[in-house]
Amino acid sequence: MKIACGADHGGVDLKDQLVNYLKEEGHEVVDLGTHGHDSVDYPEFGQAVGEAVAKGQADFGLCVCGSGIGISIAANKVKGVRCVRAHDPYSAEMGRRHNNCNVLAMGGRFIGLDMAKKCLKVFLETDFEGGRHQRRVGQLEKEEQEN
Ligand code: RB5
């Protein structure tokens, strides 16, 4: 799969490690930065990841900031994006299974690499269940179109 990845300075180390992990797993990565530890603003990177996914330039997105909070809010402001902030595999799984999330957010200051890999793996391997959940996701999409 093709995964768009982005982070601010608080998430760049974890993002870089996960980019390597994704490549090792055979995925194609679009690394939208940041690169290095200079202070940057998370909205730019959350938005870039969200837009790559919304425009179909990537199948899924991964965004990382210090807490995962700011960058998840930024990604979720892009039309067509459903971003879940998950630091445990069950949340990552349910974000896919019930909410058809297309972006995963994590906090580089909140989670270790091994757990982050588990969350990312389950996120990418879990299918959306559809059915009654499709109705609900459809309601979210309708609201998004009306706003
Ligand atoms: C940057 O210090 C930090 O505020 C940012 O990475 C993120 O945690 C915001 O939600």
* CB 70, CB 46: distance < 8 Å: yes
Q: What is the pLDDT of residue 147?
A: 84
Neighbours of 4 (CB within 10 A): 26
Q: What is the pTM of this model?
A: 0.98
Which residue's structure tokens are 């194609």? Answer: 28
**Torsion sign across C-alpha atoms 43, 62, 39, 35:** negative
Beta-carbon contacts of residue 60 (< 8 Å; ≥ 6 apart): 1, 3, 4, 53, 102, 103, 104, 123, 124
How far is the CA of 144 from the CAs of 13, 77, 107, 123, 138, in angstroms? 33, 10, 26, 23, 10
Measured from the CB, is residue 34 less than 6 Å from ligand 1?
no
Say if strands 60-65 and 103-107 run parallel, antiparallel, or are unpaired. parallel
Q: What is the pLDDT of residue 45?
A: 98
Measured from the CB, is residue 66 less than 6 Å from ligand 1?
yes
The reply to whether CATH 3.20.20.150 applies to domain 2-146 is: no
Task: Using the mean position of ligand 1's atoms as its centre, give its distance from the Cα of residue 142 in Å.
Answer: 31
- Is the link from the previous residue into 34 a cis peptide, with omega within 30 of 0? yes
Say if strands 83-85 and 28-31 run parallel, antiparallel, or are unpaired. unpaired
Q: Which residues of the chain have pLDDT under 50?
A: none
- The per-residue pLDDT for range 27-63, each reduced to its tens digit, is 999 999 999 999 999 999 999 999 999 999 999 999 9
Q: What is the pLDDT of residue 69?
A: 98
